[in-house]
Amino acid sequence: MIGKTLSHYRIESELGRGGMGVVYHAHDELLKRDVAVKILREDALGQADRRTRLLCEARAASALNHPGITTIFEVGESGGQLFIVMELVQGETLRRQVSSAGPLEPRVVARLGAQIAEALQAAHSHGVIHGDIKPENIVVQPDGGPKLFDFGIARQVAEETATSTRSAKDIGETPVASIAGTVAYMAPEVIRGRPADARADLYSFGVVLFELTTGHRPFPGPTISALMAQILHEPTPSLIGAKSIVPAELGRIVQKLLEKEPGSRYQTARDLQVDFTNLQRDLELGALLPAAVLGKRAVAVLPFKLLTPNPEDEYLGVALADAIINHLGGSGELLVRPTNTTRRYAKQAVDPLFAAREMNVQIVVDGSIQKSGSRLRVHVQAWNAADGTTLLTGKYDSEMAALFELQDQVAAALAASLGLKESASAGPPAQPPTKNPRAYELFLRAVERLSRVNKWDTRTAIEMLENATRLDPKFTDAWARLAGACVFMAGTFDPTPQWYRKGEQAMRRALALNPMDSEALCARGRILWTPLKGYKNRQALLNLSESLERNPGYHPSLVWRSLILLHCGVHEEAIEGLKEALAAHPDDGFTLTFLGQVYQFCGDYSEAERHFRRALSLDPSSLWANLFSPMAPLYGPNPEKAVDILHTAQQVVPGDALLMTWEGLLWAKRGEPRKAKELIRKALKVGKSVLHTHHMWHTAAATYATIGMPAEAVRLLVRAGRTGLPNYPLFRDDPHFKPLQKYPPFLRLLANLKKETNGYRREFGNASLLD
């Protein structure tokens, strides 16, 4: 077939052969693109019913649209030959990976497991079953993402293989490799000839996972008959043992997939994806969590369901949950998922125990609100996610005007049911933050808007909070939340001085009313660490530390304190703080990005790249992740990997000066000083990045050092150090500054920064780690 044309596809080379036919690399002459063409075996055309079934399967699979499933472009016939045209996927099969490199790391298995489970769910939800899941049918692309081949099409071959092997009588037969390779991944019910459904795919996937983890299949039967007997009757070997390094949860997942009875397995790929996602999170955080979070229970409070639907009252469900979240989190005894994580359940019916699995928590709280005129009835339940037992159930009645007292009563009952310390669950009732019911309603509406995390709703929330403070100028909580909202707007959506100034005014009003308000202290710390205030590192850290003393579970203070520490060179404490923040909010792309950045500063570029990649997978449009992710490949062994990352980032943040400097560094490493200088000059002319400019100056300095311009490099490093990046270990260890190691101005800069970094270490870190 090489060199021939099939319909409008020119066959260029052979890619591989399998049980169904031959796959070729071809060129689509009509649409001018490269494709893969599978030409089916001649015996596939011999029986009319077999041919009809195969075409139906292929057409059903062609309707699937998922990044983990190979797209089918066309099913056709030409010159008596039946063929299927698919996207051409680059990469290598799992078979080749395991054969060449042996077992995969558990966290790689967890990542692939979550991604493949998601693809299986997409297919199964459309009624399409693969039927022949095995390492040969899964390709890992250069970016690490898996692709499944032959969806729906392979089932026919697999069923026929099962039928033919069941008729084998010679126990001593020598198996044909292709047949044995298929049988080894078959579910017991398929071998027995029973009706099989999507759970048979899950069993096959379990065999693949066992092989990825150990390097061999669970049943090694030397002949087809022996292999079938093992699959049907022998207990599945456990991945967990005295000498095993396989995480217990991974072993449990695989064991459940390999149950011989379909009813004992995972019932859907969605259930499997949830468990793999949780395992991936746990492994991503690392084996050793900070001591501060060990033994703490994770809790999620779902938005309360409104039993009397009214768009005007929808804010109540999220606002009530938010109040409980803040109450429970304030003790520091629990890891409480933040409101912007739980609000996705606001408008969907969900089993609370399934939501608990999705969020990987031990305790889940849900409830309902019934509103009649000005009266409210709230029903609340707390569940132990492990066994489904009820920890609390209660009903609470209130007038709308006394909503704060109702929230406080519910939160206190929950705290007591969870066994929190007396100070967190008892004591005199808190005083309402305002006596103006309308001001409090506006505050609650703003809380719900802020949980949506977008520019429009943040701005609307700011207007609501401003109106609340006009109605009650002594409403401390409203001033504090307004300060936080303005700083969030500046740092996330609109980095202009007006929002910081507005936030500063609100922060000052809040602290004048309550000098110990943790939210306002956090806002003051964040404002002090801005260009507007000249990056007052020490004062900002003091305020953020005080905020955490007042509210140990206040997530923004923990993240921002860690963020400033990483900029000041106190890397160990920054990593511990960011990991602690992730333990409470595992899918926070902001925290993931800066954990990647601190690993980058420590020289662990592969770990940095892993965190950047995960942040982008959670939010591909994230400003932070897009602006910092080019850093990892540029410092690694293959800087050309930054090209595609830069291209994507430039679509998200066009014309950003930091991205220009990353590109300049790339040209410098390519040995193109003229292009490098041109881009750096352009970036410096722009003058600032969407984010803090000290990162642009650092990267520009690295570029100048690489192309032999030491004076310019040091000049920019001095500016970076004075404006929020006084990072002695970063500048000392950055490989691009090796040419400056004997340059006196650079050595003087390092000496000054060493004193400053050690000062922060003494006051806010571990003094035993002084340089």
* CATH number of the domain that residue 29 is part of: 3.30.200.20
CA–CA distance, 301 with 343 (Å, rounded to integer): 9
Examine the domain organization and report whether 269 and 132 are in the same domain. yes
For residue 711, give the CATH number of its domain: 1.25.40
CA–CA distance, 444 with 449 (Å, rounded to integer): 9
User: Is residue 591 domain-resident?
Assistant: no
Q: Give the closest residue to 324 by CA, choosing from 399, 274, 394.
A: 394
Examine the domain organization and report whether 358 and 222 are in the same domain. no
To which residue do tokens 């333990």 refer? 583
Examine the domain organization and report whether 223 and 312 are in the same domain. no
Task: Classify 593 as helix, strand or coil.
Answer: helix
Q: What is the DSSP string of 192-260?
A: TT----HHHHHHHHHHHHHHHHHSS-S---SSHHHHHHHHHHSPPPPS--TT--S-HHHHHHHHHHT-S
Examine the domain organization and report whether 729 and 769 are in the same domain. yes
Q: Environment class of residue 81 by beta-carbon count within 10 Å: exposed (0-12), middle (13-18) or buried (19+)?
A: middle
pLDDT at 171: 39
CA–CA distance, 508 with 723 (Å, rounded to integer): 24
User: Is residue 342 domain-resident?
Assistant: yes
User: Is residue 647 domain-resident?
Assistant: no
Take residue 191 and report the two structure tokens written for it.
Answer: 């071998």
Given the DSSP bridges, would you call strands 138-140 and 92-93 parallel, antiparallel or unpaired?
antiparallel
Examine the domain organization and report whether 240 and 355 are in the same domain. no
CA–CA distance, 594 with 627 (Å, rounded to integer): 11
To which residue do tokens 């850093």 refer? 631
pLDDT at 160: 54
Examine the domain organization and report whether 127 and 46 are in the same domain. no
Take residue 13 and report the two structure tokens written for it.
Answer: 């080379």
User: Is residue 235 domain-resident?
Assistant: yes
Task: Classify 467 as helix, strand or coil.
Answer: helix
CA–CA distance, 448 with 440 (Å, rounded to integer): 13
CA–CA distance, 162 with 185 (Å, rounded to integer): 11
Q: Which residues contact 146 (CB under 8 A, 6 or more apart)?
A: 68, 94, 112, 115, 116, 119, 138, 139, 140
**What pTM value is reported for the model?**
0.81
Q: Which residues contact 25 (CB under 8 A, 6 or more apart)?
A: 11, 12, 13, 14, 15, 34, 36, 88
Q: How many separate domains does the chain show?
A: 5
To which residue do tokens 């930054």 refer? 642
Show the low-confidence residues of the chain (pLDDT under 70): 18-19, 42-50, 53, 152-181, 241-244, 285-292, 422-430, 690-691, 767-770
CA–CA distance, 112 with 277 (Å, rounded to integer): 10
Query: For the CA atoms of 337, 338, 342, 343, what is the dihedral angle to 10 degrees?
Result: 180
C-beta atoms surrounding 610 within 10 Å = 20
For residue 259, give the CATH number of its domain: 1.10.510.10
pLDDT at 152: 63
Cα separation values, 342 from 438, 493, 550, 583, Å: 26, 22, 24, 15
The three-state DSSP-derived secondary structure of 65-107 is: CCCCECCEEEEEEECCEEEEEEECCCCEEHHHHHHHHCCCCHH
The answer to whether 135 touches 93, Cβ cutoff 8 Å, is yes
- Among 449, 467, 497, the domain-final residue is 497
To which residue do tokens 């304030």 refer? 330
Q: What is the DSSP string of 373-389?
A: TTEEEEEEEEEETTT--
Task: Classify 190 as helix, strand or coil.
Answer: helix
The answer to whether 236 touches 253, Cβ cutoff 8 Å, is no
Q: Give the closest residue to 724 by CA, choosing from 558, 564, 560, 577.
A: 564
Examine the domain organization and report whether 305 and 227 are in the same domain. no
User: Is residue 618 domain-resident?
Assistant: no
- State which H helix or E strand residue 580 sits in: helix 571-584
Name residue 721's amino acid: G
CA–CA distance, 43 with 20 (Å, rounded to integer): 9
To which residue do tokens 């936080």 refer? 484
CA–CA distance, 329 with 476 (Å, rounded to integer): 19
CA–CA distance, 433 with 469 (Å, rounded to integer): 12
User: Is residue 19 domain-resident?
Assistant: yes
For residue 405, give the CATH number of its domain: 3.40.50.10070
The domain of 690 spans 655-771
Examine the domain organization and report whether 218 and 319 are in the same domain. no
Examine the domain organization and report whether 294 and 359 are in the same domain. yes
Cα atoms in the 13 Å half-sphere on the side-chain side of 339: 26
pLDDT at 726: 96
Task: Classify 630 as helix, strand or coil.
Answer: coil
Examine the domain organization and report whether 307 and 161 are in the same domain. no
Name residue 567's amino acid: H
Take residue 195 and report the two structure tokens written for it.
Answer: 């009706």
User: Is residue 594 domain-resident?
Assistant: no
CA–CA distance, 273 with 477 (Å, rounded to integer): 40
Examine the domain organization and report whether 63 and 78 are in the same domain. yes
Greatest Cα pair distance in the chain: 90
pLDDT at 349: 84
- For residue range 536-595, what is the model confidence (pLDDT) as tens digits? 999 999 999 999 999 988 999 999 999 999 999 999 999 999 999 998 888 899 999 999
Take residue 632 and report the two structure tokens written for it.
Answer: 């990892």
Distinct helix (H) and strand (E) counts, the chain: 34, 15
User: Is residue 515 domain-resident?
Assistant: no
pLDDT at 278: 87
Per-residue buried b or exposed e for 619-649, using 16+ beta carbons within 10 Å of the residue's own CB: beebbbbbbbbbbbbbbeeebebbeebbeeb
- Among 475, 497, 519, the domain-final residue is 497
- Give start and end residues of each alpha helix (H) in 585-656: 589-601, 605-618, 623-628, 631-635, 642-652
Strand extents, DSSP E, 337-451? 363-372, 375-384, 390-399
Examine the domain organization and report whether 111 and 62 are in the same domain. no
Q: Environment class of residue 540 by beta-carbon count within 10 Å: exposed (0-12), middle (13-18) or buried (19+)?
A: buried
- Among 432, 450, 472, the domain-final residue is 432
CA–CA distance, 601 with 373 (Å, rounded to integer): 58
